[in-house]
């Protein structure tokens, strides 16, 4: 029997959501690529995440291990680093399998911060140069 666990984020479930994120901002590291796009429809209160681990990375056991490590890193840091109205796609590379968990968490946090779309100019506070 599986125990349901409350998540701090929502999941991307449709191909169109993944392809939209692929057209947004990106952050590359040796272990992963983070793609992010601000969503315009129903902004929502939580960020949405999708994980991509291709068959080139390894067999099913290795791919699932990578996804479990990424999900745990997301669970630990999404509340701090994820923007609420942004869709993120994390594309894993094989090097993620042998990386230390601390390294994965550090790169993921940096990727979420750097790939997030900049706030529109209308929302930025005006500077007082008087």
SS3 call for 52? strand
The CATH code that applies to domain 10-116 is: 3.30.230.10
Q: Residue 8 pLDDT > 70, yes or no? A: no
Domain assignments of the chain as residue spans, ordered by start? 10-116
Residue 22 CB partners (closer than 8 Å, separation 6+): 35, 89
Q: For 112-125, what is each residue's pLDDT tens digit?
A: 888 888 765 444 45
Place of tokens 């392809």: 19
pLDDT value at residue 129: 52
pLDDT tens digit sequence for 33-85: 999 998 876 666 788 899 999 999 999 999 999 999 999 998 887 656 777 88
Rg of the Cα trace of the chain? 16
Cα 53 to Cα 20, 45, 49, 85, 129: the distances in Å are 18, 27, 13, 24, 49
């Amino acid at each position: 029997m599986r125990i349901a666990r409350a998540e701090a984020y929502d999941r991307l479930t449709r191909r169109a959501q993944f392809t939209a994120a692929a057209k947004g901002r990106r952050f590359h590291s040796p272990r992963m690529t983070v793609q992010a796009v601000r969503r315009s429809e129903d902004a929502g209160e939580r960020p949405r995440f999708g994980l991509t681990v291709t068959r080139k990375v390894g067999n099913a056991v290795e791919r699932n291990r990578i996804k479990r490590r990424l999900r745990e890193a997301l669970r630990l840091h999404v509340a701090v680093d994820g923007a609420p109205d942004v869709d993120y796609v994390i594309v894993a590379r094989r090097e993620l399998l042998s990386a230390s968990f601390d390294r994965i968490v550090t790169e993921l946090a940096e990727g979420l911060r750097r790939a997030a779309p900049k706030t529109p100019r209308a929302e930025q506070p005006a500077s007082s140069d008087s």
